[in-house]
Structure 1
Amino acid sequence: MKKSKWMPRVVAVFTVLSMVFLAACGGGSNAGGELADKQVLTIGNVASEPPGVDPMKAQDSQSGLLVNQLMVGLVKVDKEGNPHPALATKWESNKEQTEFTFHLRDAKWSNGDPVTAHDFEYAWKRMLDPKNAAVYAYQLFYLKNGEKYNAGKAKAEDVGVKAVDDKTLKVTLERPTPYFVNLTNFYALLPVPKKVVEKNKDWATEAKSFVCNGPFKLKSWEHDSKMVLEKNPHYYDAKKVKLDEINVPFVKDQQTGWQMYQAGELDFGDKNIIPLDLVPSKLKSGEITAPKQIASYGVEFNTKKKPFNNKKVRQAFSLAIDRDSLVKNVTKGGQAPANGWVPWGMYNPVTKNEWIKEHGKYIDPKPQVNEAKKLLQEGLKEEGLKEMPEVTYIYNTDDGHKKIAEALQQMWKKNLGVDVKVNNMEWKVFLEKKHSGDFDFSRTGWLPDYNDPMTFLDMYQTGSGQNDPKFSNKKYDELLNKAKNTGDQKVRFDAMHKAEDILMDELPVAPLYWYTDLSAQKDNVKGVVQLPDDNTYFEHAYITEE
């Protein structure tokens, strides 16, 4: 999830979602205090107009936050990545785990129409349809003939998803995929209302035409200003939803956001409303929290543009970065210098060890100045360049990203003798620049789409819709395909570790740090569920009397 989609927030409860929701609401009692008469929550998590609330167009954490409230899929997933019934009340698979049958509950769309297996089949094939150029189409390549259909080499009817009847969905995969069921929680695999979408291609661009099936529906949408969500009476579990509304103003800068929070105009927010210079003091006072988050922040290089097409130049820019200083003096929120792209919080199910403890140290937290200068000169010479050409580092408008960009700019000047321009832009423009390849290098952040290291690795596989650096390495692709073609977790994890070895040598992305989940929450806000993968749920949130 383009997290930055992206990215940070607060830990509420980490247990099985269905159990957590009941506990958060006291099973009907108000364990956190008497309910306030006004059940309206205002959040500051969204900085600007999101790319979309259509699951096919959502590609970042801000869109994901909204889609999580508006839509629900076959399952819900707990903090360990374990799936639990949502629209599917049960499912079964064959021994090889290449065929799954999901049995759907009675559920409705916000317009009163039934949610059917046909909506899932339509949504998944729509995501794969090459005409739609969906960024997340690759997350459905697990389906039989999914990749071939996306490449125009198979027909829609050949894809391995079929509505047997209104309540039965049959799924056939190309190969065993241990995490497939929990992947169905990700927004790329959510259903869409087939009848509505076929009738109106712009159904998800305005509140009046938007149809959803989650705990909330879209009440209003003032573009470039705010969105308002309201309780969806047609949601299958609506009786447990206590909030009447969720106000989502687009808070464009952290200083303004923090002022709004202190003035009582916001009830909840993430790093989007927390100025970096306030982080240490607010953590100490307990006004904000910062648990570890399964997420990585880094620099992506456009491998198709000189001089970053040269591995040695990419390595030089990475070696010149003082990651230790970055987390101690700039971000200051308990983040850790990254020594790999797959972050802390990911575990090997075979060894039970944390992923980051199963490989060597790819990156030193301190800059390696002499080696960086040497590699830069070698790389430039190989490209026929006598000196470093003008390059621009881009980031989306945000005070935190700005401070990081300026710190990096100074490090590259001091340790490489290179003048780098920095340029900020609005979120949607930033994404368009990156996806089109119209950039030299840029900030990036990544939150997991599902609980497996593959979600951090296959984004850089050849042809991935999230592969903005346009990196392509035959051996890397082969290793990831090996991991995707077996249900043997030992074979999978060995292959993925070898793939990361290549990634950290080639460096289409230079990891900077691993995230913490900076967030602020008023004392009278209860029942918010926020998971380490940055998924946040307000389904069972409520407001108590102060």
Structure 2
Amino acid sequence: MKKSLTIFLATIIFLSIVIGFVYAIDAKGNQDEYSVLIFNGEIDPPTLDPQLNTISHGSLIIYNMFEGLVKTNTRNEQTPGVAEKWEISDDGKQYKFFIRDDAKWSDGKAVTAYDFEYAWKRAVNPANAVKYVNHMFYLKNAKDIFDGKKPMEELGVEVVDEKTLIATLEAPVPYMLEMFSFGVYKPVREDIVEKNPDNWTTNPDTCISNGPFKMTEYKMNDRLTLVKDENYWDQDRVKLNELQFVFIEEEGTALSAFQAGEIDGLLNIPTQQIPTLMMESDEFFIKPRLRLTYAAFNVTAFPFDNIKVREAFTKSIDRQKIVDTVILTGEIPASGFVPHGLIVNGKDFREEGGNFGIQPTVMLEEAQKALAEAGYPNGEGWPKNVEYLYNTNDLNKKIAETLQEMWKKNLNVDVSLVNVESKVHSQRRHSGDFQIARAGWGADYNHPMTFLDLFTSEAGNNTPQYRKAEYDSLIEQAKLSTDPEKTIELLHKAEEMFMNDWAVCPISYATQPIMMKEHVKNWDLSPLGDINFDEIYIEK
């Protein structure tokens, strides 16, 4: 350890002599010299493609590499991004964006309206199997194009000229500006993507971005290095010179790296260390999140194709015990799919929607009755090799073991635990290769729709493999409604239908523990899980 430290210090001294490597900052955060922030990204995302990414680990990086027409900051404020201004039609169905003249790609080429048109059409093209395609269905004709009913030329996007873009919607959407800042709506370059559609984001030479940071090095499963993009239109505001994401999945190892000063921030924290960190560390924080942790039943797979089995499993767990003795970060037991905190028309959607009869503690009599009605009284005849799939993570393991114990104790059924690395877990969930799986969902924008359109038949992130025409109709009606009260009424009906089908077992409404070094200033984590690294500075 001493030898490593000596080599490290010698390297720093050498760099200081050669390039003047020092940290100098004034009280206002004006940083004059080279600064580096190292953040644990936990896992290397399957892709950094804005249209193809589906996981939060990828979103955190993409959020700081690519910029949409509109930006959403950690305070959920929408501000001009690539578009310096916009005009909205009186009926709320048309947005005219004016792209700033100094918006450039990291290779110096101008960002144009054609880049957005290409990206949006790419997302809607069914051949690309974009999981977030349902977010594109707000655009006029997008769903019909995806379903093969209309040609791509009829998509509600029009390039007036290189600096002017018109987006036409199916109906007014009160949160549409926020949607335009979301990953799937961000631009990509046709000449770059088409040369290497599957791997263009893995090489710094081809990963051309348009946000505050650009890629300079990518050692997969090890480290991703971004630097401040000198071509970014708002570069003078960006204080960090370099942003590194390291990929340390094991929580104990990540915490040790933080405590040793090897990294500046992390999100994956060992559960058993949380009580001590809460009392002793000024660098430990718990942030609110619009997120749900749940167990997803594959409603097409035996024995969870039986609604009564799903009901029994959902009612037989003690959510209060899980949040109090396992999770330990102030989460609350979940009773519906949409979490608390989404205020629409002045009302909290969760409070208005009720709890669907799901209690924080075990509903033993009802659970055992449902299992008997499913044909397994007291667990008799329960099939062998029923599996619960979860991804590598200390907390996920403890929750899985607790669920396994509760199902055994309260239903007298055996469930095997299958632990796989995160990429495999994601692939198996999306393909339906599981019986029960650990799952979680965080809001992409501040509206209940971000949780409920997840289970339409064509949604790419529909983990339970739930397909129901009546549900699809309710969601479509809600999206097309011009009456905000009617929209919420339809969404309440949709959630009630979904929950009554017992497609998921809600566990908890999440919080987010995070650690950040004291010298990292002006940072925040939004309820959506975003960090604006372009607002951060280092004070040494």
Deviations along 1:164-199, one digit per CA (max 9) or x if unpaired, are: 111111111122222122101110110001222233
For residue 157 of structure 1, what is the amino acid of its counterpart? E
2-side partners of 1:80 and 1:401: how far apart? 29
Q: In the alignment, is residue 437 of structure 1 matched against residue 432 of structure 2?
A: yes
Of 522-531 and 446-455, deviating more is 522-531
Look up the match of 2:255.
Answer: 258
Q: Which has the larger radius of gyration?
A: 2
Q: In the alignment, is residue 353 of structure 1 matched against residue 347 of structure 2?
A: yes
Matches within 5 A, 1:161-176: 161-176=157-172
CA contact (8 A) 1:344 1:356 kept: yes
2:539 to 514, 520, 544: 544
CA contact (8 A) 2:390 2:438 kept: yes
Deviations along 1:105-138, one digit per CA (max 9) or x if unpaired, are: 1200001110000000000000111111111111
Superposition deviation, residue 205 in structure 1: 2.4
Look up the match of 1:128.
Answer: 124
Q: In the alignment, is residue 313 of structure 1 matched against residue 319 of structure 2?
A: no
CA contact (8 A) 2:29 2:537 kept: no
SS at the partner of 2:425? helix
Look up the match of 1:207.
Answer: 204
Superposition deviation, residue 354 in structure 1: 1.7
Superposition deviation, residue 290 in structure 1: 1.0
CA contact (8 A) 1:380 1:388 kept: no
Q: In the alignment, is residue 145 of structure 1 matched against residue 118 of structure 2?
A: no
Deviations along 1:269-298, one digit per CA (max 9) or x if unpaired, are: 11x1x1101112212234411132111110
Report the TM-score when normalising by structure 2: 0.91
Q: In the alignment, is residue 509 of structure 1 matched against residue 513 of structure 2?
A: no
1-side partners of 2:26 and 2:316: how far apart? 54
Deviations along 1:216-265, one digit per CA (max 9) or x if unpaired, are: 00111111211111111111101111111111110121000110111001
2-side partners of 1:215 and 1:233: how far apart? 8
2-side partners of 1:80 and 1:37: how far apart? 28
Matches within 5 A, 1:202-281: 202-270=199-267, 272=268, 274-281=269-276
CA contact (8 A) 2:156 2:168 kept: yes
2:50 to 55, 63, 66: 55
Q: How high is the sequence identity, in percent, across the aligned residues?
A: 38
1-side partners of 2:385 and 2:314: how far apart? 17
Q: What runs of 5+ residues in structure 2 fail to find an aligned partner? A: 1-23
Superposition deviation, residue 389 in structure 1: 4.0
Q: What runs of 5+ residues in structure 1 fail to find an aligned partner? A: 1-27
Q: Which has the higher contact order (CA 8 A, sep 6+)?
A: 1
CA contact (8 A) 1:32 1:526 kept: no
Query: How many residues are paired up?
Result: 511
For residue 393 of structure 1, what is the amino acid of its counterpart? Y
2:277 to 274, 277, 282: 282
CA contact (8 A) 1:59 1:136 kept: yes
For residue 48 of structure 2, what is the amino acid of its counterpart? V
SS at the partner of 1:477? helix
2-side partners of 1:183 and 1:516: how far apart? 23
Task: Sort the Cα spacing of 1:171 and 1:199 in 2 relative to 1 into closer, same or farther, 3 A.
Answer: same
CA contact (8 A) 1:34 1:544 kept: no
For residue 217 of structure 2, what is the amino acid of its counterpart? S
2-side partners of 1:503 and 1:79: how far apart? 31
Look up the match of 1:325.
Answer: 321
CA contact (8 A) 1:55 1:67 kept: yes
Superposition deviation, residue 78 in structure 1: 4.2
For residue 414 of structure 1, what is the amino acid of its counterpart? K
For residue 267 of structure 1, what is the amino acid of its counterpart? D
Of 366-375 and 72-81, deviating more is 72-81
2-side partners of 1:516 and 1:426: how far apart? 23
SS at the partner of 1:380? coil
RMSD over equivalenced CA pairs, Å: 1.8
For residue 131 of structure 1, what is the amino acid of its counterpart? A
Matches within 5 A, 1:18-97: 30-31=26-27, 35=31, 37-44=33-40, 46-78=41-73, 81-97=76-92
SS at the partner of 1:517? strand
Report the TM-score when normalising by structure 1: 0.90
CA contact (8 A) 2:283 2:518 kept: no
SS at the partner of 1:252? coil
2:178 to 176, 182, 190: 182
For residue 257 of structure 1, what is the amino acid of its counterpart? A
Q: In the alignment, is residue 499 of structure 1 matched against residue 494 of structure 2?
A: yes
